[in-house]
A and B are shown apart, each in its own frame.
Chain A
Amino acid sequence: MPFGDRNNTAQSFLSSSVEERIKVRSRVTNPATSLRKIALSLVSLVTEAAHKKTSLYDEHMRLGAKMVPFAGWLMPVQYTSIVEEHQAVRNNVGVFDISHMGQFVAATPPSQRVGGEGAAATWLNSMLTNNVDKLDVGMGQYTFLLNDRGGIIDDLIVYRIDEQKYLLVVNAARADEGFAWLQNHLNERRSLDRVPCNLTSRSTNFGAVAIQGPRSMALFHALFGKDIELPARNHIVDVPFGTTDVSVARTGYTGEDGIEVFFPANDAVKFWSAALERGKPLGIKPCGLGARDTLRLEMCYPLNGSDLSPERNPIEAGLGFFVDLAKPDFVGRDALVKTKEFGPREKLVPFRMKEKGPPPRPHYAVFRNGACIGEVTSGTLSPSLNWGIGMAYVSSAHAKIGAEIDIEIRGQKFAATVEKKPLYRKPAS
């Protein structure tokens, strides 16, 4: 599954309690923010020094990017235009700085590496929903880190980068929390005198860039050489770049073919510049978080903090495929078994507006025959379809494909239809 990296653009406001609903609805009556507020916040936040900068910060400034605070980082939201950057990825190729994402390494200590299942695999299988035993060396899988109630702390990709070594690529917004959660469980395990696993974060020493779009494979060869073999989908390989090796994964968050490249932070500028330079004949554009969000939403890839939260579990989110309930135990399993048995009360569904009109936005209320049945978690005007699209949690009775729903926008209801994933399909070429 092509879920590579995820970027949070909106804070979570998911709750199903009546009180919270009322709050949501009163916010929805007038959700527009003033231009002044937007402009002020941009100015004050850019000058704020508290935010972390990736190794590519100076490159973004040189390219004239609009920088915004995001998950504790200052990140480019766009360089020229969200729509143009979006189209560059759909039609040619785009490059994204994803250095803000967390990178953890879990490994079996050398002394323990004697045949059979390693400590790292055993431990990861007790912490993550998917089954790492399915991974050969060089393969990656989409998976979840849950709390004890089955709620989602983070969605991530775990790559098996060596026999006894795994790379976890996590969301920037949840990197600290996720690492602490993993670390606490590891310590508990140690105190129980069970075989330990080593867990380290290499987030500050490593950077990453995503190259996405139909021409990204041509750029791969332009960067690494004609004879270098591409990793297969969801696989990761080490490839020489100049004097160092970089890791190239065939993953992404856009629905296009593409790669995500991980490298020591020192090499970030060199790699970024090379990608832009050699991508020039291919029509490359540097792309920001804005385009990343519209691209992923067209594909119905969830965004942690908007579509996923500690109050939602993977089954409600329609992502049970990445949960292996056949595993005897993992954190959150009991809650998921229950949800599966009784069926989720609410489900995350993609929807499309019926008429041209105002685009749906997060936190707008969803109605059916006058009754509030849910809440939008992601919404935008799809640049590919030039049409309003989104995702919402709605009560399961109304979650069927084709169900008619209404989205309340500034006090007025607009008709929409529950759709199948993805909301955008590439025209056959």
Chain B
Amino acid sequence: MIIPDDLLYTESHEWIKREGENVRVGITDHAQSELTDVVYVELPKLERQVNPKEPIAVVESVKAASDIYAPVKGTVVEANKALESDAGLINREPYGQGWIFVLKIENPDDLKNLKDASAYKKQIG
């Protein structure tokens, strides 16, 4: 499983990449491999205000639908429209073209509550 060192992680298998005032969010390689064959993604609406651990997107595989949570408090500023026509990007490039949304974060200190790569690695064993 690939777990890039420069990202942050949640217990619910989202990855978080800091981009100035924003964070880019997707699901981890481990998560996509557990879900398998992603066939549909429901994206969050732009400008939606979200709280940490609030379900704001849904990733559906052949098997099941799974909620994707906001990692920190913020506002949705981008959603990956490319997933609407090619949800399989999540399987093929979970950390790249398979990103799901971008949040403008309210308080950068909130990021301290997230896991680093080694803690996430420990979690998934």
Contact = CB atoms under 8 A, between A and B. Distances in A.
A410 B62 contact: no
Given A32-B58, A359-B60, A410-B58, A38 B39 contact: no
B62 A33 contact: no
Contact of A357 (B11, B31, B35, B40): B40
Interface residues of A, number: 27
Contacts of A343: none
A229 B35 CA distance: 42
A78 B64 CA distance: 14
B123 to A, nearest CB: 9
Contacts of B61: 82
B66 A32 contact: yes
B58 A36 contact: no
A397 to B, nearest CB: 30
A381 B62 contact: yes
Given A43-B125, A81-B36, A38 B64 contact: yes
A359 B40 contact: yes
A31 B125 contact: no
Interface in B1-22: 11-13
* Residues of B in contact with A, size category: 20 to 34
A75 B64 CA distance: 17
B115 to A, nearest CB: 12
A35 B65 contact: no
Contact of B12 (A35, A82, A361): A35
B62 A83 contact: yes
Contacts, number: 79
A2 B35 CA distance: 30
A327 B90 CA distance: 56
A380 B68 CA distance: 20
Contacts of B34: 35, 38-39, 42, 66
Interface in B55-86: 55, 58-69
Interface of B: 11-13, 27, 30-31, 34-37, 39-40, 42, 55, 58-69, 124-125
29 contacts: A32-B58, A32-B65, A33-B66, A33-B67, A34-B12, A35-B27, A35-B31, A35-B34, A35-B59, A36-B13, A38-B64, A39-B31, A39-B34, A81-B36, A82-B36, A82-B37, A82-B61, A83-B62, A290-B36, A290-B62, A294-B62, A357-B40, A358-B40, A358-B58, A358-B60, A358-B65, A359-B40, A361-B64, A380-B62
A-B pairs with lowest CB-CB distance, top 10: A32-B67, A32-B65, A36-B12, A35-B13, A381-B39, A82-B62, A83-B37, A35-B31, A35-B66, A32-B58
